[in-house]
Structure 1
Amino acid sequence: MTARFSLRVNNDLDLAALTGLAVAAEDAGIDQLWVSNDLMMRSAPALLGALFQKTTRLHLGIGIMNPYSVHPAELAMIASTLQEMSGGRFLLGLGAGSAEFLSWAGIPQLKPLTDTRAALRAIRALIEGARPADVEGAGDGWNRDAYLRLPATKVPIYIGAMSPRMLAFAGAEADGVLALLFPPEHYTTASELVAAGADKAGRSLADLDMPACVWLALDEDREKADRALALKLAYYGAAFSPYLLSRAGLVQEDFTPALDALREGDEDAAVSAITPQMLSLGISGDPDAVIQRCRELQARGATHLSFGPPLGPDPVAAIELLGRRVLPQLRRTA
């Protein structure tokens, strides 16, 4: 099998920082770079428009956009335009989004699965030169004038999914699936749910790209890498899905001491409150430790590994180390 690798970064980074990461990723032999589009931060479509001018080989994706804060008609416009600008290097991540983030703007998230399915069908139809009005399940309100006045093209659409039903839907209809894995070993269960959805639709898991999406912190100094991941877990751990935490024998309340310490500005106490069990929700350490965990994922069938933030105490240095020390070993394993 051929191993593939991607990175995921947040849209809180400015263009200069993001450009540095993208150039480092391309130099390291990374296949894809995904930029989040979290509400009230920088615009991922605008950032990607600039990044396509700074890279030549790297595929760039938005992971993810939702059909609530941006209408599917505009999502199709964005996807088609970026694909045209990039010469075919754009990837669209689509999902229901965060109900909490949407609530900031008073946007209700009514039927996450139904609305995401309708958006996928409508966006795909528009991009490929068809009319959503002619597509079953593409949502209401489309009339005969709803079609893109642009050349028809293809854009791979990945579904951001964590729940069993969304994973099965992704397997049935998407080109790929972005499933956050806490812990990484959840890949086995997630891939089985995607495979079941694909099988029911007459497809197979080989018909779509399913990266194993993990959090990574990498540094030559293992303690520094562990600290970077611990701080990330201290901030976000209490908000993780109870379902996913239960897979690791944890509950949201386990992270309360770390979050409280972080709120008080005591990073050392926050790091101390993150136990080895919590730390195992991601992958951290020196190259040898990271290679070992990643090989375990490959043994579970993962052919595409996707590394998300924090990446390390120095993200650019972590990407360079990833390309120099880790990826060659993982390609050899594959």
Structure 2
Amino acid sequence: MTKLRLGLNVGYWAGGPPPGIEETVAEAERVGFDSIWCAEAYGSDALTPLAWWGSRTQRLRLGTGIVQLSARQPTATAMAAMTLDHLSGGRFVLGLGASGPQVVEGWYGRPFEKPLARTREYLGILRDVWARGGPVTSDGPAYPLPLTPDAGQPGVSGLGKPLKSSIRPLREDIPVFLAAEGPKNVALAAELCDGWIAMLLDPQERFYADALAEGFSRDGARRTPEDFEVAAMVPLVVHDDVEAAVDRVRPFYALYFGGMGAKGRNFHANVAIRMGYEEHVDRIQALYLDGRKDEAAAAIPSELIQRMALLGPADKIRHDLAAWEDSFVTTLLVDGDAETVRQAAEIVLG
């Protein structure tokens, strides 16, 4: 049975900085949280808030949950990681993810193709930058370094040359977590990374345990199951009425099952489909994409939500927590205000 850690999941902003966030971050450090995590989509970025709030903390690890691959060249991400790791005294965790075609092609103007191969190439460049074994070169098709005229891109001067980072990293082994939901991506996380960022997770499902085992079994796997971290985004709502708690998080699941991605190309919806809720997902997506978001949220079975969240009276949450402690999960990432942080610490950390 794993003694779970807690992380504060700030996510990405809804219009502006989360109300009361500085109090919440301070409370998370005071009550024993291990980390704070920030995300990005097409609004707030994941790195700047960590620098700002990290300067007001001493112990919390600072994780990106996630930095999107297509938002930055791998060398730019490597630079940001080294910089934040130095400034925080070695507290930075780089969470990466491929995002989806709507954001990648619609916001970043990049093709969403071969995400597994791109991720592998991206990770290799990151580690070469941090190792500083020499000037960084890469012959991969997605991120060639240096860029030469024969790369087939117009306007290349031919003057580029391999470079080595001008600063030494505080840590050459800055931890990298991969956000993934499909089995191939989860296996890639186990093979090449230090951790996996999970969401929409039922801790009793064997599906992901098998995918992780596949990655750990590959030649040259970076970690073993014993020293690999799994940080799972888990809504936690303490409430005397279980169904009222479920209703609190319905909009979150409606967004991810119904509104993230196009119909038939929604990686989040695939999670619920694999769990046996395909008919429900079809209805949720149809309602959400028709603008009937409240109806979409109401159409999500309470049972499905409860399998992926910790909801209800404190005693029920303590009972349900056992499934998470018996799983491969090492950290619960919870969101909420300072009161939620206090409640989570009391229940999970004891």
Could you say which residue in structure 2 is the equivalent of 1:241? 268
Structure 2: distance between partners of 1:195 and 1:153:
31
Q: Following superposition of structure 1 onto structure 2, how do residues 129-148 of structure 1 map, counting pairs within 5 Å?
A: 129-131=132-134, 133=136, 139-142=143-146, 145-148=162-165
Query: Measured at CA, do residues 159 and 294 of structure 1 come closer, stay the same or move farther in structure 2, by a change above 3 Å?
Result: same
Could you list the per-position Cα deviations for residues 283-326 of structure 1 after superposition, in whole angstroms to 9, with x for gaps in the alignment? Answer: 12222222222211222343x132344x4xxx322111111233
1:259 maps to amino acid: Y
Could you say which residue in structure 2 is the equivalent of 1:5? 6
Structure 2: distance between partners of 1:78 and 1:175:
18
* Aligned partners of 2:38 and 2:47 also within 8 Å: no
1:276 maps to amino acid: S
Structure 2: distance between partners of 1:15 and 1:220:
22
- The yes-or-no answer on 1:208 pairing with 2:210 is no
> Which residue, out of 306, 316, 322, partners 2:332?
306
Could you say which residue in structure 2 is the equivalent of 1:115? 118
Could you say which residue in structure 1 is the equivalent of 2:181? 162
Could you list the per-position Cα deviations for residues 95-151 of structure 1 after superposition, in whole angstroms to 9, with x for gaps in the alignment? Answer: 212221122222212220111111111112212323474678694223753221112
Could you say which residue in structure 2 is the equivalent of 1:255? 284
1:218 maps to amino acid: V
Could you say which residue in structure 2 is the equivalent of 1:53? 55
Structure 2: distance between partners of 1:260 and 1:110:
25
CA drift at 1:2? 4.2
CA drift at 1:93? 0.7
Structure 2 residues not aligned, in runs of 5+? 147-159, 261-266
> Which residue, out of 263, 271, 275, partners 2:301?
275
* Aligned partners of 2:4 and 2:348 also within 8 Å: no
TM-score (norm 1): 0.84
Structure 2: distance between partners of 1:94 and 1:216:
21
Structure 2: distance between partners of 1:108 and 1:245:
27
TM-score (norm 2): 0.81
* Aligned partners of 2:5 and 2:349 also within 8 Å: no
Greater mean alpha carbon deviation, residues 280-289 or residues 88-97: 280-289
Structure 1: distance between partners of 2:65 and 2:135:
23
Structure 1: distance between partners of 2:347 and 2:190:
33
Could you list the per-position Cα deviations for residues 246-288 of structure 1 after superposition, in whole angstroms to 9, with x for gaps in the alignment? Answer: 2321122132476379x457x5x56543322332353122222
1:178 maps to amino acid: I
Q: Secondary structure at the match of 1:44?
A: coil
Could you say which residue in structure 1 is the equivalent of 2:215? 197
> What is the count of residue pairs matched by the alignment?
317
Structure 2: distance between partners of 1:77 and 1:157:
14
Query: Measured at CA, do residues 98 and 28 of structure 1 come closer, stay the same or move farther in structure 2, by a change above 3 Å?
Result: farther
- The yes-or-no answer on 1:226 pairing with 2:246 is yes
Structure 1: distance between partners of 2:228 and 2:39:
21
Query: Measured at CA, do residues 201 and 84 of structure 1 come closer, stay the same or move farther in structure 2, by a change above 3 Å?
Result: same
1:189 maps to amino acid: F
Could you list the per-position Cα deviations for residues 48-86 of structure 1 after superposition, in whole angstroms to 9, with x for gaps in the alignment? Answer: 111111111100111111332211111011000000000
1:192 maps to amino acid: D
* Structure holding more helix per residue: 1
Could you say which residue in structure 1 is the equivalent of 2:39? 36
- Percent identity of paired positions between Structure 1 and Structure 2: 23
1:128 maps to amino acid: A
Structure 1: distance between partners of 2:105 and 2:143:
22
Give the root-mean-square deviation of aligned CA atoms: 2.6
Q: Which has the larger radius of gyration?
A: 2
Structure 2: distance between partners of 1:280 and 1:257:
23
Query: Measured at CA, do residues 135 and 141 of structure 1 come closer, stay the same or move farther in structure 2, by a change above 3 Å?
Result: closer
Structure 2: distance between partners of 1:258 and 1:224:
22
1:278 maps to amino acid: L
> Which residue, out of 329, 334, 340, partners 1:318?
340
* Aligned partners of 1:287 and 1:326 also within 8 Å: no
* Aligned partners of 2:139 and 2:145 also within 8 Å: no
Could you list the per-position Cα deviations for residues 211-242 of structure 1 after superposition, in whole angstroms to 9, with x for gaps in the alignment? Answer: 3x143131233344222111222232224534
> Which residue, out of 318, 324, 346, partners 1:291?
318
Greater mean alpha carbon deviation, residues 13-22 or residues 54-63: 13-22
Could you say which residue in structure 1 is the equivalent of 2:156? none
Greater mean alpha carbon deviation, residues 222-231 or residues 44-53: 222-231
Query: Measured at CA, do residues 295 and 228 of structure 1 come closer, stay the same or move farther in structure 2, by a change above 3 Å?
Result: same
Query: Measured at CA, do residues 134 and 103 of structure 1 come closer, stay the same or move farther in structure 2, by a change above 3 Å?
Result: closer
CA drift at 1:19? 2.2
Structure 1 residues not aligned, in runs of 5+? 329-334
